[in-house]
Amino acid sequence: MGSAGKMLYIAGGPGGNSIGPAIHTYVANSLGLDWACEFLRLSDVHDVIELFRRSDFAGGLVTMPHKRTIIPLLDSVDAYVKEIGACNFVVRRPDGHLHGSNTDWSGIKSALDACRSPSLPARGYSAMVYGAGGASRAAIYALVAGLNCKEIYIVNRDEKEVAELVADVNTYTTTKPKLTHIMSVTQAEAMKCPQYIISTVPDFEPQSSEEITCCEILHHFLERAWSQEHVLLDMCYHPPLTRNLKAGVNASWTVIPGFAVVAHQFAQQWDLWTGRSINTEAVFSMCDRLIQERETKIPQEVVTA
């Protein structure tokens, strides 16, 4: 095997989890590379970058909560990171230079394209993004650049985070969508129901009054549409079938789990790491198998690829 003893890391926070290590290790072995993949549960992004700087580092993926804070610690980033304001992918160049990109947005776009009803026009719908962190930025970019959504609602518990998100989106050098912060069910009732909803928050039971209101807004839109031509995508993939996805299934929406977004990025990520192609069909099959092992039963309404 070539490139002996190299490490891939998926950098998340405490309590995080992923099927990624098993899949990426499998891909490496299928390419004849002696690489292993490990999930890091680290609260401090400086601990992440310390591991990324080691000589045995081959490449990394970045998840919540590090997608924004890692950017200034990298040696360079591409145009996608600059436009989106979040980084989920790192490659180590031969001279040790750490370069960041964002593949989340293309994974989101591909996952939405794969489940779009043939009866629907490809572009121009309104959408909603639940959350205002790093993943929300990739979601908005995918909706704008990939699906040409003109109006996007933001639902989030923290007004300051929303203001920062709006400021970042307003720096787009391409088309800027109309962003509306929805803060109550009453406000939501006066808005057109979004065709797409992308949730970018962890799977948790709402506790604060702000969290409860956000959850009520989501459920209002889900219950108002009641149609499989409307799509709910949840970026969270731990657990595979989240509270939000279950609510979407109950409301007869087409739902897409977070692991489908991850799977749609594998080919691009391995091309950037190695310049080589992978067997995407085998990777998707492995994703499905690993997910089924973790979740005893996933409803047929859930779109996995």
Q: Which two tokens stand for residue 156?
A: 């989030």
For residue 257, whether the previous peptide bond is cis, meaning omega lies within 30 degrees of 0, is no
Does residue 82 have an active-site annotation?
Answer: no
- The Cα–Cα gap between 176 and 165 comes to 13
The answer to whether the beta carbons of residues 130 and 149 sit under 8 Å apart is: no
- Marked catalytic residue, from 67, 160, 178, 192: 67
- The Cα–Cα gap between 290 and 73 comes to 33
Q: What is the DSSP string of 39-54?
A: EEE-S-HHHHHHHHTS
Instruction: Say how many CA atoms lie within 13 Å of 34 toward its Cβ.
Output: 6
- The Cα–Cα gap between 30 and 34 comes to 10
Q: Which residues are catalytic?
A: 67
